[in-house]
Amino acid sequence: MRIDVLLDRLDRVRQAGPGRWMACCPAHDDKNPSLSLRELDDGRILLHDFAGCAAADVLSAIGLTLADLYPDRLGDHLAPTRDRKHRHAASEALKALDADALLVVVAAENIAAGVALDDADRELLAGTVSRIHAARCAAT
């Protein structure tokens, strides 16, 4: 999903810097913008509500899921290849693992808060766990 699609669903949006916005959180009665949003270079969208609402609750309030924060083909850059010139440098692999770790953390926070993952989120999480496992196996 593009960030502008998400921003259109929020109230009192203001740009806080390049690729960064603040808005009122749709998951609670927000008088002052407490929701921070950031679009990363690879198309992922990070969000954090300083009032404490879980990301899944924020997204659910506007008809979205955690999967909507990621480009449709985020994991493709991790596809294994035998062609040495197309292998990713260590820093690129770490960036990809960082993105996957973030998804796992968000899912864990939601589960700990009692928020059930829907089928799309579970599928995204399963793919993430598979990529992390493959990276670990490739490193040994």
Buried b (16+ CB within 10 A) or exposed e, 9-48: ebeebeeeeeeebbbbbbbbebeebbbbbbbeeeebbbbb
CB atoms within 10 A of CB 119: 9
CB 43 within 8 A of CB 71: yes
pTM over 0.85: no
Q: What is the pLDDT of residue 73?
A: 54
Question: Encoding tokens for residue 96?
Answer: 């990809």
- The pLDDT tens digits for 116-134 are 888 888 888 888 888 887 7
Residue 88 banded pLDDT, cuts 50, 70, 90: very low
Residue 46 has a pLDDT of: 93
Share of the chain above pLDDT 90, in %: 37
Residue 103 has a CB neighbour count (10 Å cut-off) of 23
> Comparing C-alpha atoms, which of 39, 124, 42, 44 is closest to residue 132?
124
pLDDT tens across 52-87, in order? 999 999 999 999 988 889 886 544 444 444 444 444
pLDDT tens figures, 35-58 = 999 998 888 999 999 999 999 999
Cα dist. 119→50, 101, 123 in Å?
27, 19, 6
**C-alpha to C-alpha distance for 24 and 122, rounded to whole angstroms:** 27
pLDDT at position 113 is 84
Euclidean distance between CA atoms 89 and 101, whole angstroms: 18
Question: How far is it between the farthest Cα atoms of the chain?
Answer: 54
Give the pLDDT score at 127. 83
